[in-house]
Structure 1
């Protein structure tokens, strides 16, 4: 029976809950050697009915997610097992220790497990060979100094504009006599081709020349698609000193982008260990991403009268409400590619980053309208549940801007944030909104095309005697919607001259 000493553990019940696989699938993965045999011992969770339960290294969660991803890409279980055997992860990484009572036959079976030796503590900082991360726009968002020196021949960290770090733009800047240039372009194009059509190439990055477009199109037509979760290849690159160096290139595909490592043969074992821990890799990379000057939209959403609601509800119910609001809204943010950001209090801030098709502007508006609809559903649910007359409103403020965007991290979490006034402005507009209204700045509306503006119903509500009139396609300064004798007048002086409008619906 294997034992795992000083290793973070997860039991079989937790594995089933967190991965969504069945118990039969879990047992099958153990038989196939994809995950190790469990260490069966007394259940630590008193809520479980089982007197004994199997415990696994926590790294099996990453392994199961890896298998699920490979299945999505059309790989059969035979292909997956064959892939693991080809990369020889078991011999490179090590196997789970076994107790003295384990016979030799069982030890032999355990050798096929792609395990994780906790003695090997390889991190991103320990990679002393070229390595970098390209995001889904194929912009370099993290790189080490070895890649800057041996691949790009420049300091990438000094390039603050994300678009200027497009991998193909960087490779195009290599000396025309550099023999590595075309080989590197073809290699990255094979990764690009698995995600994007040829039509995107003429607009791949700013100030692209006709000759560069022709080079990229020629490469696109020539290369075959590379699209595996973890893959490897070999390449020979000529350094600035004229010496030819052989590299064993590994690349791993994440939702956030593609991580590439140009390993020397002597580093083969350490790199394989690192790549087997997908979750650790992406967490480390996100913590160290290069701050970038990026155009984006920000949604700030706050629960109206949250202090009063907090006072009226027992603590556990208030926290339950806040968590339910986040769960209700999460799918909408994911649908429109929102990135969760740092926000004080019980509200939310999400960023929508500019992409090649500039859909981030409309994505922000669509998302805000969905948030309002979801909040109406949650409001009805809590009214039925509590039998109260309170209405729950999520007040939303939206603004756009171009700021430095990066991460703030500690040992356990990563928070995305933007420097500058754009988010602060959206927060103040959210504070101005009442009764679930969606207020948006004129700057953002002006960034939309004429066709996009026609799809949105927006304007300002005016009161004429006892009637409310909605004047479409208009804006107003914040100060013009407040009376000087109102108690809140001074509160909004910092955005007093800001022109805003209310989003009502899509046409």
Structure 2
């Protein structure tokens, strides 16, 4: 290696490892004058195959640590620069690290141009020195290429992320993962796990058993990493609710991590430095980039030596990311309630109204009902025709069954008001009724990609029974299964007024707290009898109303 005089020197990679800052932050500090520009020299043995390596004076470490200390004291960057004796030009405003760290450099910054750039197969290659003009600067062809790169940003899709990446939902269960994350982060096949609970990141990381402490440093670091996001959005009691079936020692370990964790900011794209061992014990530093969405958190693990071109733009494009992730969401065996609603006599209403009025009516129904589905956490599903299908997924933080029932009652009330408004408008006597069927079950739940949207669907009899009950219902009634009602607590059932209609002396009465088989409510001579043979023995009941939950 070339002689670097008697000053103590340190390479850029060593700085990243020791301080935990990102490449972008290091380059930012150089531009601000916090640390000097590096000396580019030949590498020492063991520094890889790079032809040139950037070295900094050892005092650069002290300067970076001073910046970190002042940041912990909540000082802004301008005050930090003043305290360190750094003067910027009048027109140069210091940028925060948060702003810098959302951008992945398109080219290797000169300050840290010191390591191999692995190709897609992970095999390192020598870095080519750029062509230089006679004046000593970049050649005209290189400058032109740089302009083209800036004018045409690189587009990266979810499938093209060249490093470990995965999405966790709000229960910290993995909804999407690429093969690299399975191999390098979790070291097992995750996509073959159908039960969402068993795809929980903490369960996966603790599967070696916290009681025997068979946990590598990587598992410990990753548990702490994810726990910072739990703390950012949940209280400590979330752990007891979410992992009540864990052994006590594992649960206590997670609670200890929670107490020590600092809540991660949830409103930006950012990166965290991690030093972790890989499968064969070789140390592998990562920059863990994350982006927070309503649907969950996307993690991308970039190796320190790798430039992740275009990934920042992808993470910042919320709609594109969410659309791609939802299309590739893994089918999950999960418990849910499904609500199917159909407009009664829709064919007759369509015939009575002018086409533009019929579509106006359907759009108004959807617009009116949408807020109710959103309030009760319903997920839109695939449905044939002009009806509605919404799924209410099991969540430890909400009661999906009561949500579905309460939502159905609210839909009925809204439909009654809408029917009255259209009677006044049209001067007709047609009642607008939304017939509703609800069922609960455990089925495989997934997505069907459609252009440009994504439709959720579930396989199995649970959805079919709800659809058949919606068809069975008349005059805007709500029907559900005894199976669902039996899964409610006694206190929850007391809040629900339900029963079976009976005809007594020409009047319809409701016998409350009663169930009936579908076949027992139809005469064998009824033309509809054969229509419902597939659910003839299904015990059901009619939902009439729901009282509000008591305040404690």
Task: State the TM-score, normalizing by the size of structure 2.
Answer: 0.71
Partners of 1:80 and 1:491 in 2: CA distance: 73
Q: CA deviation at 1:198?
A: 0.7
4+ residue runs over 6 A deviation: 78-81
Distance 1:420 1:505, change over 3 A: same
Partners of 2:328 and 2:216 in 1: CA distance: 30
Partners of 2:523 and 2:152 in 1: CA distance: 65
**Match in the other structure for 2:240:** 202
Q: CA deviation at 1:173?
A: 1.6
Please tell me whether the aligned partners of residues 340 and 387 of structure 2 are also in contact (alpha carbons under 8 angstroms). Answer: yes
**Match in the other structure for 2:164:** 130
**Match in the other structure for 2:294:** 255
User: Secondary structure of 2:350's partner?
Assistant: helix
**Match in the other structure for 1:427:** 467
Distance 1:464 1:118, change over 3 A: farther
1:20-169 correspondence runs (5 A): 82=96, 85-87=99-101, 89=103, 92=106, 119-169=153-203
User: Secondary structure of 2:309's partner?
Assistant: helix
Q: CA deviation at 1:279?
A: 1.0
User: Secondary structure of 2:172's partner?
Assistant: coil
Equivalent in 201, 215, 220 of residue 182 of structure 1: 220
Distance 1:382 1:83, change over 3 A: farther
**Match in the other structure for 2:282:** 243
Q: CA deviation at 1:440?
A: 0.7
**Match in the other structure for 1:483:** 523
Partners of 2:287 and 2:280 in 1: CA distance: 20
Please tell me whether the aligned partners of residues 343 and 433 of structure 2 are also in contact (alpha carbons under 8 angstroms). Answer: yes
Partners of 2:201 and 2:281 in 1: CA distance: 23
Task: Please say which of residues 130-139 and 173-182 is displaced more in the overlay.
Answer: 173-182
Equivalent in 414, 420, 424 of residue 380 of structure 1: 420
**Match in the other structure for 2:484:** 444
Q: CA deviation at 1:118?
A: 5.3
- When the two chains are superposed, the root-mean-square deviation of aligned CA atoms in Å is 2.2
Partners of 2:504 and 2:94 in 1: CA distance: 70
Cα deviation, 1:371-417, whole Å, max 9, x if unaligned, reads 01111121122112212111100000000100000000034121000
**Match in the other structure for 1:224:** 262
Task: Please say which of residues 133-142 and 228-237 is displaced more in the overlay.
Answer: 228-237
1:193 equivalent in alignment to 2:231 = yes
Cα deviation, 1:164-205, whole Å, max 9, x if unaligned, reads 111111111257141211111111000011111111212323
Distance 1:490 1:213, change over 3 A: same
1:334 equivalent in alignment to 2:388 = no
Partners of 1:147 and 1:173 in 2: CA distance: 17
Partners of 1:355 and 1:205 in 2: CA distance: 13
Cα deviation, 1:212-242, whole Å, max 9, x if unaligned, reads 1111010000011012322211111211111
* Structure 2: runs of 5+ lacking an equivalent: 1-75, 79-92, 108-148, 548-552
Task: Please say which of residues 276-285 and 430-439 is displaced more in the overlay.
Answer: 276-285
Distance 1:489 1:334, change over 3 A: same
Partners of 1:91 and 1:169 in 2: CA distance: 35
Partners of 2:443 and 2:358 in 1: CA distance: 34
Q: CA deviation at 1:298?
A: 0.4
Please tell me whether the aligned partners of residues 116 and 273 of structure 1 are also in contact (alpha carbons under 8 angstroms). Answer: no
1:345-356 correspondence runs (5 A): 345-356=385-396
Larger radius of gyration: 2
User: Secondary structure of 1:463's partner?
Assistant: strand
Distance 1:460 1:88, change over 3 A: closer
Distance 1:356 1:86, change over 3 A: same
Task: State the TM-score, normalizing by the size of structure 1.
Answer: 0.78
User: Secondary structure of 2:340's partner?
Assistant: strand
Task: Please say which of residues 350-359 and 364-373 is displaced more in the overlay.
Answer: 350-359
Cα deviation, 1:63-84, whole Å, max 9, x if unaligned, reads xxxxxxxxxxxxx9x9998466
**Match in the other structure for 2:352:** 312
Q: CA deviation at 1:320?
A: 1.2
Distance 1:303 1:214, change over 3 A: same
Please tell me whether the aligned partners of residues 476 and 499 of structure 1 are also in contact (alpha carbons under 8 angstroms). Answer: yes
User: Secondary structure of 2:191's partner?
Assistant: helix
Q: CA deviation at 1:90?
A: 8.8
Q: CA deviation at 1:484?
A: 1.1
Partners of 1:88 and 1:211 in 2: CA distance: 38
Q: Aligned pairs, how many?
A: 410
User: Secondary structure of 1:458's partner?
Assistant: strand
